[in-house]
Amino acid sequence: MRAFNAELSKLFSLPGMWLAFVIGILAPPLLAILDSLAEKEDIIAGVSTRLSEVGFTGLGGGVQGIIILGVLAVSSEYLTESSESGGGNQITTSLTAVSSRLQFLLAKAGAVTVISVLLSILAIGTTVAATHLILGDYAPAFEASRLIGAVCYWTFTALLAFGMTVLTKSGIIPLAVLMINSSVVTISFLLTKVTKLAFYLPDMAGLDMFLSPSGGFHTPFTGGVIMFAWVTVLFLAAAIVFHRRDVAS
Amino acid sequence: MMVSSSRKITPIFGAELDKLVTLPLIWRTFVATFIVNLALTAAFTSANLQGAIGTQSILATGLASMGYLQAGFIILGILATCSEYTGGQIRTTLTTIPWRGLQLSTKHLALAVVTIPMALILTGSGILYAFIMMRDTAAEMEIDTMIKTLLGATGYLTLTTLLSAAIGALFKRTTPALVVLLGYYFIVSPLAREYLPNIQYYFPDTAGSYMYMPLSSGEISSLSPLQGTGIILAWTLFFITAAIVCYRKRDA
């Protein structure tokens, strides 16, 4: 528990974390507003086929903040300080204080999970408000089950970023891969045109929890299970590698 | 000490080139980009081969992955300038080369020299792959359009790298620079393309894409390759100038 508190305090005192929070709270409503404005006429005329997706598209596309959160949580530990201040890594200090590596990793993952759940609830709040602001009475009802799906998607994305960064130690690769894959036309989506297996990629399956990009290939529940399986596998791999790796290397 | 500027440039250029070439991350980025690019081109090609025979263009398929390929070059540019700031290498650099403006502009020059062959290899390999796979089914391709497109794509990637290097020099840290650039190129810009169709031609990536995009006759207000080059060149020079001005004024 003390390790968990320490991790929370470390995360909240990272300057980059505030960037993650600002992006996480502002990007989804911004996307939702743009989407609502584009769909407004159709919705008022009653011919829109995407009424139920408005707002949720924002939550699906605005995951950049949470990616930064997951990546920075780990990459900040491995940042080398300048040679004038000893050229050390924070990770050596952290592991001196919490000597069980598994405990350290679990505490950090726990802190990331708690913060991402909080951040996603905040983001849902701003997104729903933004949608109501633009669409007024025409705004769709936000069902609780899909909102829970969105929270799960955000949290799993953060944990995926976390696991990837533990494996690579530097934030560049996970940031590049995940941010490119959260762009408007994702690589995963293009791959689904080549092979049906791509529907089992974590982001395509995860989106099924509250949108249906695959056209009902997975039910929301199986989509969640598939993404959770990815998170578990990645986390196990990260834990094994982290357990066996020399800290200084 | 009075040394004429022309005699300074050659050793500085050599030093900067040496630093870039010996940076292991540069080579790892290049190899990773190469592999990912081939994989993506393979995916695009096989997706296109399922379409109707005789309608696909080899150039369009070979360059379809450009949108993702540029991420590798953005990373390359950021690494080139931000690597100076990890661990205080910058102080050694400035002790030996106390002319800041000259140092940073030579760095960009050296980066361009490193990037051009890399970009040529990457775009060339994509087109070559598409050519081999689609030889039998695709429409005819003229050799001089291919050379023009190849040069355009190389120029675009080089300018994007230089722009990223300038942004990296402004931010001094890898992560924020990476977040800002990737966020712009992959999230803000596609959205702007959709919702602000009038001013998007003045954005560096959209303007730059006309350097290599095969002209489609359907679009009305598209730019010519030369206009596209001009706009992205202006953006790059603007950011390099801003980076040099900040670099001269700022505490290292």
Range of the domain at A174: 2-181
Angle between the N-to-C axes of helices A144-168 and A64-78, in degrees from 0 to 180, rounded to the nearest 10 = 30
* 3-state secondary structure labels for all residues of B69-135: HHHHHHHHHHHHHHHHHCCCHHHHHHHHCCCHHHHHHHHHHHHHHHHHHHHHHHHHHHHHHHHHHHC
- Specify the amino acid at residue A137: D
Crossing angle of helices B100-134 and B89-96, rounded to 10°: 120
**Among partner residues A38, A82, A171, which is closest to B88 by beta-carbon distance?**
A82
B82 and chain A: CB distance < 8 Å anywhere? no
- For residues A204 and B171, give the distance between their C-alpha atoms in angstroms, rounded to a whole number: 33
Total domains present in chain B: 1
Q: Under an 8 A CB cutoff, do B43 and A194 touch? A: yes
CB atoms within 10 A of CB B252: 12
Of the candidates A132, A135, A133, A127, the residue with the CA atom closest to the CA atom of residue A41: A135
Q: How far is B138 from chain A (nearest CA, A)?
A: 19
Asked if A83's CB is within 8 angstroms of B182's CB, the reply is: no
> Is residue A18, in this structure, part of any structural domain at all?
yes
Residues of B in contact with A172 (CB under 8 A): 75, 79, 174, 178
**Better-predicted residue by pLDDT, B129 or B51:** B129
The range of the structural domain enclosing residue B196 comes to 5-249
Which amino acid is present at A30? L
pLDDT value at B139 more than 70:
no
Closest to B173 measured CA to CA, from B90, B71, B73, B106 = B90
pLDDT at B217: 46
Residues 84-103 of B with CB under 8 A from A: 86-88
Does pTM surpass 0.90?
A: no
| B190–A175 C-beta distance less than 8 A | no
B135 Cβ contact list (under 8 Å, min separation 6): none
pLDDT of residue A213: 66
Return the pLDDT at A163. Answer: 94
CA distance A80 to chain B (A): 7
Predicted confidence (pLDDT) per residue in B160-218, tens digit: 999 999 999 998 888 889 988 988 888 888 777 777 767 777 888 888 888 877 655 44
Asked if B190 and A16 come within 8 Å (Cβ–Cβ), the reply is no
Distance CA A7, CA A104 (A): 9
What is the spatial distance between Cα B252 and Cα B249, in angstroms, rounded to a whole number? Answer: 9
In a domain, A199, yes or no: no
pLDDT, residue A248, reads 66
B186 and A171 within 8 Å at the Cβ level: the answer is no
The CA distance from A4 to A108, in Å, is 7
Residues 183-242 of B with CB under 8 A from A: 183, 186-187, 190-191, 194-195
Return the number of other C-beta atoms located less than 10 Å from residue B161's C-beta: 28
Domain membership flag for residue A147: yes
Contact A182 B187 (CB under 8 A): yes
Q: Could you list the pLDDT tens digit for every one of the 249 residues in chain A?
A: 888 999 999 999 888 888 888 888 888 888 888 878 877 777 777 766 666 777 787 887 778 889 999 999 998 888 877 666 666 788 888 888 888 899 999 999 999 999 999 999 999 889 888 888 888 777 777 778 888 888 999 999 999 999 999 998 888 888 888 888 877 667 777 777 777 788 888 888 888 888 776 666 788 888 889 999 999 999 999 999 999 988 766
- Under 8 Å CB-to-CB from B11, ≥6 apart: which residues? none
Report the alpha-carbon angle B171-B175-B181, nearest 5.
70
**Is residue A145 included in any domain, yes or no?**
yes
- What is the tens place of the pLDDT at every residue in B100-134? 888 999 999 999 999 999 999 998 888 888 888 87
**pLDDT at position A142, please?**
76
The answer, yes or no, to whether ipTM is higher than 0.85 is no
Q: Select from B29, B38, B182, B195 the residue whose CB has the most chain A CBs within 10 Å, as the one to mutate to test that interface.
A: B182
- pLDDT bin (cut points 50, 70, 90) of residue B219 is low
Residue A236 domain-assigned?
no
d(CA B37, CA B34): 5
* Cβ distance of A190 and B86 shorter than 8 Å: no
Whether A184 and B190 lie within 8 Å, measured CB to CB: yes
pLDDT at A82: 65
Higher-pLDDT residue of B29 and A86 is B29
* Contact between chains at B190 and A193 (C-beta distance less than 8 A): no
* DSSP bridge pairs for A80: A89
Q: What span, in angstroms and rounded, lies between the C-alpha atoms of B112 and B126?
A: 21
| Number of domain units in chain A | 1
CA distance B206 to B196: 12
pLDDT tens digit string along B65-81?
888 888 899 999 999 99
